[in-house]
Amino acid sequence: MLLRASRLVRSFGRKDKTFVAVEDVSLDVGAGQIHGLLGPNGAGKTTTVRMCATLLAPTSGEVWVDGINAVRFPERARSRLGLVLGGELGFYPRATARDNLLFFADLQGVEPRRRRGAVAEVLERVGLADAAGRKAGELSRGMRQRLHLARALLGSPSLLLLDEPTSGLDPDVALQVRDLVRELAQRGTGVLLTSHSMPEVEELADVISVIGAGRIAVRGGVADVAALAGVSATTTFTLPARYGDVIEALRRRLGARATVEQRASSARWAVTVYWAAGAGGAGEPMRGDDDIADPDLVVSVLAEAGAQAPSDLVTRAASLEEAYLALADGLAR
């Protein structure tokens, strides 16, 4: 394992007034694996990443980075990992992007004869080769975020810790970063990734851990998150705004089988039916039995209430975002 965090605890404050930010968190990242870490603000994600990065000592627990005890030997562990934390600080604004990276290459122990080549390589990989001579303080937010990623890649680390790596990036640049993360994993780099973008995590992560109130609530794939959330599948459609009573009728008819949510969208209702766990899932047929998702029942109830069958009605297995949103209220502190 490139990263093994075992029973991490981190508390802040004095003995008479202590706040436990992380409590009994364990996770690991193997070679070539992308491990997504999700949770609401204040759940303990960044604190966990900072402990794994040796920036914050755990109150108790162990962190091993590529076979090195990172709590006892933090400097040795740092030589094996690259880190991107959310935010724009961390560079000398009057120095160029190239000179900033040369400075950090020196700190990270990159051999003098290799530094310029290593800096040129990482700038090229993150799409900043043309901006190498620009001052860091003149770069856009997205460019500074890419500069953070370039710094993390110096020294060819075996493990990357990425805290919101695409935050503030334009969609096309964010896509480039995701492609780069995927490429690095394919080459054997282990990645611990936190992100508020559910589609990003669903696309990239091999394993997903959801943290809430400082504890890991669930670990596995999308189906595992959905199971904890009690959601197996969703049916989505829109109705004209005048059909609010029809949606209420649907909600009563489905009862405990599903949760019906609605939101206003351009003089229409955007409706999502969250089918309860056991009501169907990925790869299962959508039939009319009581224990699976039943879009035909939705159409039938709408017709009985005087509404035509929506042309945009779609039923599918719950996405990570849908499952996470259903779970989020219970994760908040």
Residues 179 and 296 in one domain: no
Listed residues 195, 225, 255: the one ending a domain: 225
Give dist(CA 134, CA 159) in Å, integer.
29
* Positive or negative torsion for Cα 36, 39, 40, 46: negative
CATH number of the domain enclosing 163: 3.40.50.300
41 has a pLDDT exceeding 70: yes
Question: Based on the domain organization, do 277 and 218 belong to the same domain?
Answer: no
Same domain, 113 and 32: yes
Confidence of residue 169 (pLDDT cuts 50, 70, 90): confident
The tally of domains found in the chain comes to 2
Q: Is it the case that residue 330 has pLDDT exceeding 80? A: no
Same domain, residue pair 197 and 251? no
The CA radius of gyration of the chain, in Å to the nearest whole number, is 24
Which SS3 state, helix, strand or coil, does residue 286 take?
Answer: coil
DSSP secondary structure string, 167-197?
A: TT--HHHHHHHHHHHHHHHHTT-EEEEE-S-
pLDDT, average across residues 58-72: 97
First to last CA, the chain: 31
**The last residue of a domain, from among 225, 256, 271:** 225
The 10 Å Cβ neighbour count of residue 312 is 9
The rounded distance, in Å, linking the Cα atoms of 81 and 246 is 56
Other Cβ atoms closer than 10 A to 108: 17
- Tokens describing residue 257: 């089988």
SS3 4: strand
Average pLDDT over residues 90-100: 96
The residue count for the chain:
333
204 and 238 belong to one structural domain: no
Reading the block at residue 223, the tokens are 């189906």
CATH number for the domain harbouring residue 255: 3.30.70.980
Q: pLDDT at residue 88 above 90?
A: no
Q: What is the structure's pLDDT at 75?
A: 93
Tens digits of per-residue pLDDT, 267-307? Answer: 999 999 999 875 444 334 334 444 478 999 999 999 999 99
User: 200 with 104, same domain?
Assistant: yes
pLDDT at 9 over 90: yes
Answer yes or no: is pLDDT of 318 > 80: yes
Coil vs helix vs strand at 126: coil
- 26-48 average pLDDT score: 94
Taking Cα atoms as reference points, which of 234, 252, 204 lies closest to residue 314?
Answer: 234
- What is residue 213's predicted lDDT score, i.e. its pLDDT? 87
pLDDT in tens, 210-261: 998 899 999 999 889 888 888 889 999 999 999 999 999 999 999 989 999 9
Q: What HEC string does 49-70 produce? A: HHHHCCCCCCCEEEEEECCEEC
Could you tell me the residue range of the domain that residue 151 belongs to?
3-225
Residues 74 and 7 in one domain: yes
Residues 53 and 144 in one domain: yes
Q: Of the residues 175, 209, 225, which one is the last residue of a structural domain?
A: 225
What one-letter code names the amino acid at 264? Answer: A
Q: Give dist(CA 253, CA 139) in Å, integer.
A: 56
Q: What does the alpha-carbon distance between residue 18 and residue 79 come to, in Å, rounded to a whole number?
A: 33
Please tell me the predicted confidence (pLDDT) of residue 50.
95
Same domain, 42 and 136: yes
Pair (94, 176) in one structural domain: yes
Residues 83 and 62 in one domain: yes
**Percent of the chain whose pLDDT exceeds 90:** 68
Residue with tokens 């001579």: 133
Separation of CA 153 from chain center: 20
Statement to judge: residues 116 and 257 lie in one domain: no
Instruction: Report pLDDT digits (tens) over 115-146.
Output: 999 999 999 988 899 999 999 999 988 888 88
Integer Cα distance of 275 and 224 in angstroms? 15
pLDDT of residue 289: 45
How far is it, in rounded angstroms, from Cα 271 to Cα 286?
A: 19
Q: What is the pLDDT of residue 277?
A: 79
Rounded CA separation 8/28 (Å): 12
